[in-house]
Amino acid sequence: MFGSLVLLLLSSVATSGSLPSGSASSHVSFHSFVERGVFGPISTGSAAGIAGGQIACDSPPVSSFFAGLKPPFPTNSWWAPFAAPPGTGTAAGPFPYESALDGYGVQFGISTNRQWDGTSIKQPTQIDWLASFTEHSGTFANHKATSFDTQSVTIQYFQGSASMTAYLVPGSPYMTFQYSQATPLLKSMHGGIKMFNGRTIAVGETSSATGTQFTVVDTAGTTYRIYALASITLTATSISPNSGTISAGTQFTGVLRLVMLAQASHQALLDQHYQVYPTSVGHDYSFTDTTGTLFFNWNTVGDGSQLLMLTWPHHRLTMQNPNFPATTALGYLTTKGWMYPAIGNTWKMLYQLTSISWNAPRALDSSCSDTVLLGLEYEVGQLNSSQAPVPGDFYYWGGKLAAQSRLALIADNLGRPDLVTPVINYLKASFQHWFDSASSTLPAYETAWGGVISKAGANNAWVDFGNGYYNDHHFHYGYFLNVAAVIAKFDTNWLNQHREYINWFARDIINPSTQDPYFPVARCRDWFAGHSWASGIANGAGSRDQESTGEAVNGYYGALLWASVALSQDYVNYAKLLIATEQQAAQVYWHLYPQAGQTDRDNPYPEPEVRSLVTMGNVQDWQSGAWLFWGSQRSQIAAIQILPVTPVLYDKQWVENVWSYTMPELVNPTIGDEWKCVIIAAYANSNPQAAASWAANLTDWGSGNTFTNEMYFIGTRPNPRGTPICSDFPQNPYGSFKLQVASSGAFVTASSATPNLIATPGSSGAAAATFTSAYVPNAGTLQLAGTGQYVTADQSGSAALAAARATASTWERFTIRRKVGAAADVYSIRAGSNGLYVTVAGDGSLVNNGANEAVAAGFRFVAA
Ligand SMILES: *[C@@H]1O[C@H](CO)[C@@H](O)[C@H](O)[C@H]1NC(C)=O
Ligand SMILES: *[C@@H]1O[C@H](CO)[C@@H](O)[C@H](O)[C@H]1NC(C)=O
């Protein structure tokens, strides 16, 4: 319907006007972008009708901080530590700086201490200066946020008629402080003051200078330039070897800008551009049917075309028509790599949008059809809507149900509507609990910050991974939206009945508009950092982190599916932009490429030792490392950047890196198949044939994946070799059989009186037991005809197999394969309970104790 038209008019109209009176620089023009082109709210309705009702989190914003502002408030932004109690945590920016608020003012600095500990790159926060004014009493309540947008926050410190306003704008090399009738006071925090404007000052001495440009060197050797936008007299005082101040003798109304001078050669560019400063950021976007363009539009004081900002690698990779000075002109090494300069107050970043929606972008390879359909029939057959799970939490429920929901999509894709309905009924039966106020696990609308939370977590950060404190919402609600979208796709009545309710979950993570009175804009997304933060407001909003880029992408993928069935094309596009940006950041900052060059401009990790770890587990503001809060295996660290397995893609080079890096674990039988299956699926993006043969040996897909989804995914990858992907996919012989030991010719007996499976020498086929061999994914069950009992094998490997279970679970599964090196009709049997092969003991008992196939007994399956 939209063709290739640009959907939105995004002209960033600069309006000129004069500065408010009292400004020292009223001759400069004031550029302000009108926020045009951003989408309106998904809805403006309240979530009062949500099953858990309303509740207030026991950790509301610091009461004075948002004075004069009303929720919804951002919870996962880089500056959440300013707002979350106690309000003194270190904020993840504004990069290249990190900052914190104390009673007197804004502390800030750039970490110059880059460390490598074998697992992580670390740049511990460094505080260089405190910006304050002498009139301020230090009363903590005497500061507040006066405004914020999708990237920046404006903080004002005030005392009587004196004030200092800090424009904290990510990417600005200068920290900007606008004083009004206040006496500027800067305190050195990283050492004492050694030199001021080229003059060495000893402890106890002072030095004054008048003008607009100053240079100060602290005793740690760190140099800052101080720019005043109106002439000022500053006096530097060396108080002790560890402390010093720079103050103005009188009240000042005007702007001071501080910038770390990392190298003397950077001064020229900084001197050239200090007069233009950003006060806030507008962002908008435009779309074609294949691309999305993201715009950052800084509102500036001064000529916006001369605004000097800093870029991260992910910006540089997508910026259109950039005005980049030489990288030697200015640069700061941060945990996201080098920040380099760009000039101008509009950035335009182009992203390719995914064309994938419900299913893979190509048909299932015909060689995989039987395999997938068998799995589908079996796995759908396991879903009994009378036994649909009652949600006991948000995260695991969502992951499991989302995995089941894919079965409906695959059935639909393969033309099996008969297999769609049972899945939808099952999903609906389980989802129904979220609408029921009598449920034990409930979503509620949280009123202190504004959002939907897990009600039981409103006063307990340990519930649902801190969901009540706004952790992980995009992970959790992404799964909810996946499930709801699938139900809605096949049940319009359900959609119409529950659209507003499901929208509360969608609005919680992808609300695009400040006009939504109940939810902040794109809660988890840090637009300047280019990705989402999982961390909310727990622990004073501590460090920002995100471990699971796979689930972050899936969060926006769930939103895409929901938008495509329940909302308009605008929100489909918005979700696609969120996917594209999150994927790019995952690729740039989480996926590591040993192939990258050490001096590549856009390689965030110059150290080759870091990149040889192939995958970051956790990216934080001050460190990034190949570790997780919960696991240390290579396959876990990589798999959490991949799962859940959905049609959204992973890049070929990285999956090849992951494949070789995790290989020691992939061949290690003690590592769980629930992780291996994720790595194997991802590897199909490089070599689907190899992935299929590895997938044939899996017996566990975890709660977040299914056999059907694994094989569907592998069978729908690009196939550059062109050979069948699932050729010779092995399976058990299915049907009714008598089992004969190949070496002795003895047949296996079992009965209700003697349930053990025993190969009796010289026994005839007539006396042998008949077993029904039935399908389970990559294995099967053996059921004794006559008694109906399933053959079980315990984990000890010391007891005989016995036809002794009324129902079949994992201990009643066997993988029966053509035995390597034996005649064509001879099979080995491997027990699912312990992974060992069945041998024949001296007394003829069948025992699952063979370490490898070579020592396994060979069996003929003689049709009964
Ligand atoms: C589904 O579950 C119900 C309730 O437990 C049970 O009565 C019914 O037999 C089950 N249906 C199937 C096909 O197993
Ligand atoms: C799968 O298992 C079989 C039997 O144990 C083994 O021969 C084969 O090498 C395995 N395939 C892969 C790809 O590991």
Please choose from 697, 817, 819 the residue to mutate so as to test ligand 2's pocket, defined by most ligand atoms within 8 A of CB: 697
Residues with CB under 6 A from ligand 2: 693-694, 697, 853
Q: pLDDT tens digits, residue range 87-140? A: 999 999 999 999 999 999 999 999 999 999 999 999 999 999 999 999 999 999
What pLDDT does residue 297 have? 96
The residue whose CA is least distant from atom 10 of ligand 1 is: 384
Return the ligand 2 atom nearest residue 817 CA.
4
The residue whose CA is least distant from atom 2 of ligand 1 is: 386
| Entry pTM | 0.93
Return the ligand 2 atom nearest residue 697 CA.
1
Ligand number with the minimum distance to the CA of 381: 1
What tokens does 235 get? 């006096």
- Ligand 1 centroid from CA 408, angstroms: 20
Structural domain boundaries in the chain: 54-280, 383-588, 735-863
Output phi, psi for 702, to 5 deg. Answer: 70, 180
Measured distance CA(482)–CA(461) in Å, rounded: 25
What pLDDT does residue 14 have? 28
- Ligand 1 centroid from CA 703, angstroms: 21
The residue whose CA is least distant from atom 6 of ligand 1 is: 386
- Ligand 1 centroid from CA 808, angstroms: 15
CATH number of 735-863: 2.80.10.50
Q: Which own/partner contact pairs does 830-838 have at CB distance under 8 Å and 24+ positions apart?
A: 830/856, 831/793, 831/797, 831/801, 832/699, 832/779, 832/793, 833/792, 833/793, 833/794, 833/795, 834/793, 834/794, 834/795, 834/796, 834/797, 835/669, 836/797, 838/793, 838/801, 838/814
CATH number of 54-280: 2.70.98.30
Ligand number with the minimum distance to the CA of 663: 2
Ligand number with the minimum distance to the CA of 425: 1
What pLDDT does residue 638 have? 87
The residue whose CA is least distant from atom 7 of ligand 1 is: 386
- Helix or strand (DSSP H, E) at 352: strand 346-352
CB neighbours of 312 closer than 8 A, spacing ≥ 6?
95, 334, 336, 337, 339, 529, 530, 604
The residue whose CA is least distant from atom 12 of ligand 2 is: 694
Output phi, psi for 354, to 5 deg. Answer: -70, 145
Q: Find out whether 95 and 335 touch, Cβ atoms under 8 Å.
A: no
Ligand number with the minimum distance to the CA of 695: 2
- Ligand 1 centroid from CA 381, angstroms: 11
The residue whose CA is least distant from atom 13 of ligand 2 is: 694
Low-confidence ranges of the chain (pLDDT < 50): 1-36
